[in-house]
Structure 1
């Protein structure tokens, strides 16, 4: 039974499908990593052990942890950068500033539940699309020997990108991570700008309402 499962898990299609389901779970507020990982991670860990032993597996635990997403599910470190560079609303700007450092270490709950991404249809497409593109590009980069496969040595998923890519492969892996991060920024950009426009209008409406509340026309001296 183990061999068929390993052969199935060691494919691009299996990785993409697993990550689509993982992100659908997250979209509905369920920890997709825990649900999908309960089935998929043992396979990936076995493939990583095979790489340590001299086998050749592109798909493995380090591939998932270090090249599929940056900053947590949805590769939201790219989203955080897009928020800081292209958005004008105070809500998104402040959330971006608060989420940058955690995102560097793979923590993205502030974005998932604060932006939010959970149950927000406007963000579903890039939330699934960016990790999928990361997986496909990374897979073919390794399959075509532009980037070495991961060594199988355990690199904590909290290790910042570029450093983690270098440790898992070499400088080519670090450059691949950086390129994918930038690509993700531009994929997220049009979607977050739509949300930013909505939040900016809400903020302007709130300011106008506050101005009306303190209008001098409403003041009366009859009670003095």
Structure 2
């Protein structure tokens, strides 16, 4: 999951980016709504976390502009404002959920996972394709309930492909799941990781669900539920 984090409080932004990264998320963090809008135009994100009290363009205006661009990603508002009028205004602007500061990180993580599941049509925290399962909360792959050893990058790619099963996913989109927007990117890394994933899945459960679509990307062919 790639997260766009828009938070002007430096310590909180650093803390959230660190904790989310430790939970195998890729975080694109900025303190500025104008910069965030540029990144939203140029890069793909799966979910956004937006503080309302931003300098310059407000969080509400950012959300409205993001929606006006046709971006449908889930948006979670973070704010110190706790009255119901602010909640209604935020949700009316196009946000999907609302979390009042101070908050526990575990609640933030649970809300993000719920929003992500809802956005891809899932109701549970497990994705299943034959004997293969992903536990989205524990960030773990299992085959017949036994853990499948994957590196953090391998897991991120498998999770994204399974959550977008039956859809062709480009190399660029997969690289965005691994790297922040200003990191150097090597498309050969994707080929290496896909190759390792295929070998591990074939060895563990004789499953070969990842097809290469020439010139376009990769397709997870097993129907997930």
Could you state the TM-score of these two structures normalised by the residue count of structure 1?
0.28
Structure of greater Rg:
1
| TM-score calculated relative to the size of structure 2 | 0.28
- Larger relative contact order (Cα-Cα within 8 Å, sequence gap ≥ 6): 1
Whichever structure has more helix as a proportion of its residues is: 1
